[in-house]
Amino acid sequence: MVIGHTNKNRKKVDSLNTNKQGRQSFRLPQMPIITAWASVAGKKESEGPLAHEFDVTSTDTLFGQKTWEQAEKQMQKIALDTLLKKAGVARQQIGLVFSGDLLNQCIGSSFSLRNTGLPHLGLYGACSTMAESLLLSAMTVGGGFSDRVVALTSSHFASSERQYRFPLGYGGQRTPTAQWTVTGSGAALVCSAGKGPRIASCTIGTVTDLGIQDANNMGAAMAPAAYATIRAHFDDLNTAPEDFDLIVTGDLGQLGKEMLLELAKRDGLSLGGKLTDCGTLVFDRDKQDVHAGGSGCGCSAITLCGHLLNRLNSGKLKKILFCGTGALLSPTSTQQGLPIPGVCHAVCIHGGEN
Amino acid sequence: MVIGHTNKNRKKVDSLNTNKQGRQSFRLPQMPIITAWASVAGKKESEGPLAHEFDVTSTDTLFGQKTWEQAEKQMQKIALDTLLKKAGVARQQIGLVFSGDLLNQCIGSSFSLRNTGLPHLGLYGACSTMAESLLLSAMTVGGGFSDRVVALTSSHFASSERQYRFPLGYGGQRTPTAQWTVTGSGAALVCSAGKGPRIASCTIGTVTDLGIQDANNMGAAMAPAAYATIRAHFDDLNTAPEDFDLIVTGDLGQLGKEMLLELAKRDGLSLGGKLTDCGTLVFDRDKQDVHAGGSGCGCSAITLCGHLLNRLNSGKLKKILFCGTGALLSPTSTQQGLPIPGVCHAVCIHGGEN
């Protein structure tokens, strides 16, 4: 599956050797490079503070399709096509696409890749999918299996609302802790050679659950997982908040972010000043009526594949810890009275050398 | 994430270098070893021809739980615990678990790993998940990221029926092309050292769709994807059906298997005599009233993690191509009149040296 195998001088992966700590993280001495990225955003996202960072924006929330689910598929198609165009790479040169989404059976991802001839491994990591796909792309390139791998995901406000909560036509009142699912898709191209931000290390999350059962307060459900992974990253790789310009969680929103700060503080770790959250960056909470902030796979995807990678590439950011957060619930598990397990995967990205 | 990193003398991955063919497959010169496997099966499966090959069987289809979904979670828990016990490995020694299932938002997988402390990457590959998780485990071990990785999946007849088709209490009539979702869970431990069957190479599938729209004929929907991947494996790695003792598809069932033979024949390739399908192995179609055969992630999982790995380990099988097949539909996509995309991932496994 490798196109132009350039692997001969590849350094060994610097995995961690421990029977105690450290098994969640690995370093990539020959850092895979994010040579291109692309973002597609819906109407509300295009009216927010990051509007100027997206490659494609649309005032048509259906993206020319008949259904919300097909709109989501279409966003992934556009994100992938835009990515390949920006990278100047043909579809045939891509070794593998890691993708997933929130729709039941991930139909946004499988239908977007239908009959494209692209090798595909499907993921389910809920809203952590951008980080999960990026991490696996880095493993694939870092392990010498391919030279060009795509990480791709999406979410859509309307398809999520009707699947997880209520049909939009029902006009249900939203609770103050609720978040607004981002309509958008992000794609990143991870390569063994080229220029751009580089993936230095990753931390794989564990499924963590402190018993939160309120499906309208996902930030709280995910905060413990986010803290566990961030802590593991620091411990495993012997690093600390001050080594980063930013620690960016995926979609904790305002409440989840505050809870994460509190969890860290209780544990003697100060994240203050370094921590931000894509859910608080992507919308203007004062003006856009999104309650606790943005959420969904698309939230961290378009924030990373627009705002963050642009700033890493231009040198405005030197080093960030990108922490995709996911709430691993389903409407069925909630109806059965079960709590909401969370997961968080972290990817340490260095600024480009351009 | 590596436990006892033994990686220093690891050979380079022999990936394929092509701009034309071959990008779907890779070889693993230092073959990851499947040192242990475990299977958990439900009542009907325990009455079938493979009954004696399963580690755990249960006449209680709820596995002591209150709901079918929680029963599925419980099967994964039992499969994982049984695996670790058989391997003599502690939970803390596992670097990573790749798992997924058919339930919306893969709650079987996330709830089974909840608060276990096991690093987890979630997959969605429909019924191809056993092959997908095995392939990614092989990449993780082969790439030097971990020495012990678990591939895990499950399906449950009752949770699948109510999610994809009708509530069981409705008593809907099944069509002759319908398959019976296997109640079971399989787990495999992939290691960098030890004894057991070895993973020699893998082929990653593309999302393939020839326009089949009948959600009660999944075998037909998946057969084109199975053929595309098997053909890619032969072409990419310069091998042929006669090099294998068996080519085993996941859950095409009787009709899908016949369609695959026909697709191969039209393309000038004879699979006859080598091809079998887990869906036709796991049940006795004459006696068990399963129509076209077994299906579900659990179908290929318990057939592999019982019957096939036992035979590979004892030397009765020298080399097989294990081809996990998945139908990437959802009830929503079917209701919206869309066809059923299929995917198939192939893993070439050599017999053990015991």
* CB distance A155 to A299 below 8 Å: yes
> What pLDDT was estimated at residue A76?
98
**Quick check: A17 pLDDT over 90?**
no
Nearest to B19 among A69, A92, A341 (CB): A92
Chain B hits for A126, Cβ within 8 Å: 105, 122
Q: Where are the beta strands (DSSP E) in chain B?
A: 14-15, 25-27, 33-41, 56-57, 96-101, 120-122, 148-155, 180-181, 184-191, 198-203, 246-249, 275-277, 294-295, 319-327, 342-350
> What pLDDT was estimated at residue A22?
56
> What pLDDT was estimated at residue B17?
36
Entry pTM: 0.95
Burial of B93 (0-12, 13-18, 19+ CB in 10 A): middle
Q: Which residues contact A32 (CB under 8 A, 6 or more apart)?
A: A137, A138, A141, A142, A190, A191, A192, A198, A199
Whether residues A110 and B8 touch (CB distance < 8 A) is answered with no
Whether residues A343 and B120 touch (CB distance < 8 A) is answered with yes
Nearest CA in chain A to B106: A124
Whether residues B23 and A16 touch (CB distance < 8 A) is answered with no
Nearest to B330 among A105, A136, A336 (CB): A105
Task: Name residues of chain B where pLDDT drops below 50.
Answer: 1-21, 354
> What pLDDT was estimated at residue A23?
83
Average pLDDT over residues A210-217: 88
Burial A20-34 (b: 16+ CB within 10 A, else e): eebbbbbbbebbbbb
Taking Cα atoms as reference points, which of A266, A125, A343, A325 lies closest to residue B117? A343
| pLDDT level of residue A274 (50, 70, 90 thresholds) | very high
ipTM of the complex: 0.94
Q: How near does any CA of chain A get to the CA of B342, in Å?
A: 9
Q: How near does any CA of chain A get to the CA of B83, in Å?
A: 19
The overall average pLDDT reported for chain B is 92
Q: How near does any CA of chain A get to the CA of B32, in Å?
A: 14
Give residue A203's identity as a one-letter amino acid code. Answer: T
Q: How near does any CA of chain A get to the CA of B316, in Å?
A: 31
Whether residues A120 and B8 touch (CB distance < 8 A) is answered with no
Q: What is the pLDDT of residues B49-105, one digit of tens each?
A: 999 999 999 999 999 999 999 999 999 999 999 999 999 999 999 999 999 999 999
> What pLDDT was estimated at residue A240?
96
> What pLDDT was estimated at residue A20?
38
Q: What is the pLDDT of residues A232-269, one digit of tens each?
A: 999 999 999 999 999 999 999 999 999 999 999 999 99
Nearest CA in chain B to A135: B121
With pLDDT > 70 as the criterion, what percentage of chain A qualifies?
Answer: 93
∠ CA A219-A25-A278 to the nearest 5 degrees?
Answer: 30
3-state secondary structure chain A: CECCCCCCCCCCCEECECCCCCCCEEECCCCCEEEEEEEEECHHHHCCCCHHHCCEECCCCCCCCCCHHHHHHHHHHHHHHHHHHHHCCCHHHCCEEEEEECCHHHHHHHHHCCCCCCEEEEECCHHHHHHHHHHHHHHHHHCCCCCEEEEEEEECHHHHHHHHCCCHHHCCCCCCCCCEECCEEEEEEEECCCCCCEEEEEECCECECCCCCCCCCHHHHHHHHHHHHHHHHHHHHCCCHHHCCEEEECCCHHHHHHHHHHHHHHCCCCCCCCEEEHHHHCCCHHHHCCCCCEECHHHHHHHHHHHHHHHHHHCCCCEEEEEEEEECCCHHHHHCCCCCCEEEEEEEEECCCC
Nearest to B16 among A1, A93, A142 (CB): A1
Give the HSE-up count for residue B51: Cα atoms under 13 Å, Cβ half-sphere. 10
Whether residues B2 and A17 touch (CB distance < 8 A) is answered with yes
**Quick check: A2 pLDDT over 50?**
no
> What pLDDT was estimated at residue A222?
96
Nearest to B332 among A104, A121, A140 (CB): A104
Give residue B171's identity as a one-letter amino acid code. Answer: G
Nearest CA in chain B to A28: B145
Q: How far is CA B57 from CA A206, B19, B306, in A?
A: 29, 48, 12
Give the separation between CA B70 and CA B64, rounded to whole angstroms. Answer: 9
Q: What is the pLDDT of residues B265-306, one digit of tens each?
A: 999 999 989 999 999 999 999 999 999 999 999 999 999 999
Q: How near does any CA of chain A get to the CA of B72, in Å?
A: 12
> What pLDDT was estimated at residue A352?
78
**Quick check: A15 pLDDT over 80?**
no
> What pLDDT was estimated at residue B272?
80
Whether residues B209 and A115 touch (CB distance < 8 A) is answered with yes
Nearest to B110 among A92, A104, A341 (CB): A341
Give the separation between CA B95 and CA B115, rounded to whole angstroms. Answer: 15
Whether residues B341 and A205 touch (CB distance < 8 A) is answered with no
Q: How near does any CA of chain B get to the CA of A287, in Å?
A: 32
Whether residues A121 and B132 touch (CB distance < 8 A) is answered with yes
| Of A11-20, A36-45, A273-282, B303-312, minimum mean pLDDT range | A11-20
